[in-house]
């Protein structure tokens, strides 16, 4: 049975010691194990975080200006958002 | 390493540590002060050392058998009750699983709920929780001249909320995690200085992990640090890992991944924190990489599975040590961090951090620079690794117990549930013992290919889990252990087997007794020196949180949540039968339903069950107010006034 070599001790650089197991590809792209990730899907988390950070900034701004906290950003008056 | 203390006397040492604690406590000073008082339990782990150690001595190994329930409280919610209540300033703050209601009870009359804050959450948050709808606790900020004390809560739907500690009114709430992409919150918030730190969950849905700091007063985001990707996202200090360059330094958040796989690379932190005010660093662990299918993500996958030391002011990392490069077993490295100051074998005083990991190794690092001090197997049946090389810090893998596509890995120990999971353990500084609640579960594992779709599960492995070699694989019992560990001499002072995994963690006390709850529904007390069972009580349901202790009116109490759930309880909680369901936990815990059912609440114990209600049986009795009594008297005299014809 192959795949008995990788023991984690052969490092190409400090902190970089991964090796492909015997019979498995060095790179999965183009191989039978290619995950074929959709770039649109991969970017969704960062887009979501940017949206949350922007809404939080609106909440904070209104809170700092008025001392009143409004969570629903659609309810925040334009003047303080 | 400089020698700063010569005495080997534990008593002298304890006194010196106490003194050092109050001198070096640059912040949060008030929180450190409050934690010194045995009447309080102000944060997870009790104080910044996260030792779960109570200095109270009223309950001791001589009298612990007299422990009886003093009072109890039902949260009105089922599902796993993890964490432990906080006690501050005569009030107990209780949290619950989804919908994450918070309760405040006054210790002078705990029968009266002083306030409750019940959030409205989108119920779809439940659908993206990997491992029951648990929550690990609350945080407390003591207030200042302008702002009253605050209680902080995380919610499963991703919000971090600040509430007035006296009234329970919501002061602010911010979005930290988005359930639409599978990102939830179960971690307890953590207060350092005037910031509240919030972790993340969702590696089973491909969520890239991050930790965030918010201003306690306003909710303003101060910084956010990721576990994978570009160095500026990970927030690495200029001298990052300088004392240990062989751990790896710059560029590895990208270089140890193929392509853009790091964008869905996991590394969430949902465990526990510790903080050293002297070093001004806080410590935590990042979780597993995604997906579980290792073949889909070549590389060391840094910086998942790492122990971190970060500056709380700007979030910059001073050091990180990756425990499990290129994870193949879901050994999410988020477990408890316990700080201690101990003499090493050469007689040098060291500032240490001890961390029992999912991968079956208990790590002790120098918490000033990340130096590896010891890395011992939690149990001799760990087989994925032959040893951790102390020079290189590298775990030497046994290829026989790795996982890979088109192959069923068998008899791998520990299982994905780890030999240690989310339980918050304890450290007895007098005995220099770590009391660890341990799992004894192994597994078979077969990965499969699957696409990533934001908001959907991204696991890619089928598991069978069962008791380890020391358990009873025929009866499917013997899934846990409890041990007392010496990190300096690398030995176990005692160890005992448990029917089920000791999931919730432990409490150490100066009375020489250690406490823990069990999944089959007991709270137990053992002799800290010998491990002998001294007392137990049958709780309404299994315990997945850790016990705590506080004093009120000079009397020592022990409190613990009951309410089984969490990952080991998913079969029971969601009524699942397929042994591979619940990410493989259903099979391992098939016997659990024969010992417990769901519940939810707090049980509080004291010697002989004494409480405010036994002190004065009239405490909390209904008394008509003078106004009502006046009305009644008036009504008697002039009935016609009340019922005009």
CB contact under 8 A, B260 and A63: no
Of B479, B469, B484, B456, nearest in space to B356 by CA: B484
Residue B547: is its pLDDT beyond 60?
yes
Give the model confidence (pLDDT) of B171-214 as tens digits: 999 999 999 999 999 999 999 999 999 999 999 999 999 999 99
Give the model confidence (pLDDT) of B334-390 as tens digits: 999 999 999 999 999 999 999 999 999 999 999 999 999 999 999 999 999 999 999
Compare CB distances from A52 to B178, B249, B299 and report the shortest one's residue.
B178
pLDDT, chain A, mean: 94
CB contact under 8 A, A24 and B454: no
Residue B618 CA to residue B365 CA, distance in Å, equals 53
A 26-55 residues with CB < 8 A to B? 26-29, 33, 35-39, 41-46, 48-49, 51-53, 55
Residue B273 lies in a domain: yes
The DSSP line for B314-348 is: T--EEEEEESSSS-SS--------EEEEEE-TTS-
Residue B632 lies in a domain: no
Of A80, A51, A18, nearest in space to B261 by CA: A18
DSSP state letter for A12: S
CB contact under 8 A, A15 and B247: yes
Q: In this structure, are residues B102 and B94 in contact, taking their beta carbons and an 8 Å threshold?
A: yes
pLDDT band at B230 (very low <50, low <70, confident <90, very high): very high
Residue B326 lies in a domain: yes
Touching check for A74 and chain B: CB below 8 Å?
no
Give the model confidence (pLDDT) of B461-508 as tens digits: 999 999 999 999 999 999 999 999 999 999 999 999 999 999 999 999
B550-571 average pLDDT score: 97
Q: In this structure, are residues B591 and B548 in contact, taking their beta carbons and an 8 Å threshold?
A: no
Residue B610 lies in a domain: yes
Residue B621 lies in a domain: no
Question: What residue numbers bound the domain in which B114 lies?
Answer: 47-615
pLDDT, chain B, mean: 94
* ipTM higher than the 0.85 cut: yes
How many domains is chain B partitioned into structurally?
1
**Angle, vertex CA B591, rays to CA B587 and CA B596, nearest 5:** 125
CB contact under 8 A, A37 and B259: yes
Q: Where are the beta strands (DSSP E) in B344-447?
A: 349-356, 361-366, 372-377, 385-388, 395-397, 409-412, 426-428, 433-439, 441-447
Residue B21: is its pLDDT beyond 70?
no
**Angle, vertex CA A15, rays to CA A11 and CA A19, nearest 5:** 40
Can you give the pLDDT at residue B4?
A: 37
B117-135 average pLDDT score: 95
Which of B179, B252, B384, B394 to mutate: most A Cβ within 10 Å? B394
Can you give the pLDDT at residue A78?
A: 84
SS3 B399: helix
pLDDT band at B19 (very low <50, low <70, confident <90, very high): very low
Can you give the pLDDT at residue B625?
A: 77
Residue A63: is its pLDDT beyond 90?
yes
Query: Going edge to edge, which strands form the sheet with B53-54?
Result: B53-54, B506-509, B513-517, B522-527, B533-538
pLDDT band at A46 (very low <50, low <70, confident <90, very high): very high
B428 is catalytic: no
Distances (CA, A) of B162 to B6, B45, B565: 45, 20, 26
Residue B247 neighbours by CB under 8 Å, 6+ apart:
A14, A15, B241, B319, B320, B321, B322, B370, B393
Active-site option among B47, B132, B327, B330: B330
Residue B624 lies in a domain: no
Give the model confidence (pLDDT) of A6-41 as tens digits: 999 999 999 999 999 999 999 999 999 999 999 999
Of B75, B36, B191, nearest in space to B550 by CA: B36
Question: b/e for B76-91, b at 16 or more Cβ within 10 A?
Answer: ebbbbbbbbbbbbbeb
Residue A12 CA to residue B327 CA, distance in Å, equals 18
Residue B415 lies in a domain: yes
Compare CB distances from A14 to B178, B248, B398 and report the shortest one's residue.
B248
B580/chain A closest Cα distance in angstroms: 24
Helix and strand numbers (H, E) in chain A are 2, 0
Percentage of chain B lying above the pLDDT 70 cut? 93
Residue B15 lies in a domain: no
Residue B127 neighbours by CB under 8 Å, 6+ apart:
none
CATH of the domain at B516: 2.140.10.10
Residue B641: is its pLDDT beyond 50?
no
Percentage of chain B lying above the pLDDT 90 cut? 92
CB contact under 8 A, A63 and B218: yes
């Amino acid at each position: 049975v192959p795949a008995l070599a990788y023991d984690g001790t052969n490092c190409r650089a400090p902190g970089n010691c991964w090796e492909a197991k015997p019979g498995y590809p060095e790179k999965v792209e183009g191989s039978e194990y290619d995950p074929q990730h959709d770039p649109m899907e991969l970017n969704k988390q960062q887009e979501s975080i940017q949206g949350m950070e922007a809404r939080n900034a609106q909440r904070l701004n209104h809170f700092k200006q008025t001392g009143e906290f409004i969570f629903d950003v659609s309810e925040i008056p334009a003047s303080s958002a | 390493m400089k020698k700063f203390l010569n005495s080997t006397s534990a008593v002298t040492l304890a006194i010196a540590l106490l003194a050092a604690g109050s001198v070096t406590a640059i912040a949060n000073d008030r929180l450190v002060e409050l934690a010194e008082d045995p009447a309080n339990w102000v944060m997870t782990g009790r104080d910044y050392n996260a030792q779960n150690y109570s200095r109270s001595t009223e309950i001791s190994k001589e009298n612990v058998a007299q422990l009886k329930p003093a009072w109890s409280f039902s949260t009105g919610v089922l599902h796993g009750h993890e964490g432990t209540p906080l006690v501050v300033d005569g009030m107990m703050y209780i949290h619950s699983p989804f919908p994450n209601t918070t309760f405040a009870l006054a210790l002078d009359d705990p029968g009266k709920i002083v306030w409750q804050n019940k959030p409205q959450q989108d119920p779809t948050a439940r659908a993206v929780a990997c491992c029951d709808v648990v929550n690990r606790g609350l945080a407390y900020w003591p207030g200042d001249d302008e702002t009253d004390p605050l209680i902080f809560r995380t919610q499963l739907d991703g919000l971090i909320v600040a509430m007035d500690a006296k009234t329970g009114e919501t002061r602010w709430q911010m979005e930290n995690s988005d359930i639409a992409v599978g990102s939830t919150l179960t971690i307890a918030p953590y207060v350092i200085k005037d910031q509240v730190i919030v972790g993340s969950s969702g590696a089973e849905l491909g969520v890239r992990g991050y930790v965030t700091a918010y201003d306690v007063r306003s909710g303003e985001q101060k910084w956010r640090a990721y576990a994978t990707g570009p160095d500026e996202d990970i927030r690495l200090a200029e001298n990052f890992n300088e004392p240990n360059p062989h751990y790896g330094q710059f560029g590895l958040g990208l270089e140890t991944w193929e392509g853009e796989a790091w964008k869905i690379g996991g590394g969430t932190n949902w465990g526990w924190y510790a903080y050293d005010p002297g070093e001004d660093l806080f410590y935590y662990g990042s979780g597993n990489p995604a997906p579980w299918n290792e073949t889909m993500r070549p590389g060391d996958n840094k910086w998942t599975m790492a122990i971190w030391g970060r500056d709380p002011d700007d979030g910059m990392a001073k050091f990180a040590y990756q425990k499990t490069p290129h994870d193949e077993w879901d050994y999410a490295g988020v477990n408890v961090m316990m700080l201690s100051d101990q003499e090493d074998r050469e007689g040098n005083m060291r500032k240490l951090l001890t961390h029992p990991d999912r991968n079956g190794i208990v790590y002790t690092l120098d918490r000033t620079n990340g130096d590896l001090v010891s890395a011992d197997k939690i149990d001799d049946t760990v087989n994925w690794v032959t040893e951790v090389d102390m020079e290189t810090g590298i775990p030497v893998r046994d290829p026989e117990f790795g996982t890979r596509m088109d192959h069923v890995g068998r008899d791998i120990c520990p299982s994905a549930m780890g030999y240690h999971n989310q339980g918050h353990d304890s450290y007895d500084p007098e005995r220099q013992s770590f009391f660890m609640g341990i799992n004894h579960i192994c597994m078979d594992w077969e990965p499969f290919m699957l696409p990533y779709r934001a908001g959907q599960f991204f696991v890619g492995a089928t598991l069978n889990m069962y008791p380890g070699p020391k358990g009873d694989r025929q009866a499917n019992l013997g899934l846990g252990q409890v041990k007392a560990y010496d990190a300096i001499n690398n030995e176990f002072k005692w160890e005992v087997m448990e029917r089920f995994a000791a999931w919730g963690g432990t409490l150490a006390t100066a009375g020489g007794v250690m406490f823990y709850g069990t999944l089959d529904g007991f709270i137990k007390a053992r002799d800290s020196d010998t491990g002998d069972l001294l007392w137990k009580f049958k709780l309404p349901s299994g315990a997945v949180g850790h016990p705590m202790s506080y004093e009120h009116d000079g009397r020592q109490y022990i409190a613990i949540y009951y309410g089984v759930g969490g990952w080991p309880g998913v079969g029971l909680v969601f009524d699942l039968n397929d042994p591979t369901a619940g990410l493989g936990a259903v099979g391992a815990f098939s016997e659990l339903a024969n010992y417990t059912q769901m519940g939810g609440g707090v049980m509080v114990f004291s010697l002989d069950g004494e409480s405010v209600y036994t002190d004065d049986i009239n405490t909390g009795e209904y008394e008509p107010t003078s106004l009502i009594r006046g009305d009644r008297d008036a009504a008697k005299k002039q009935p016609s006034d009340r019922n005009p014809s």
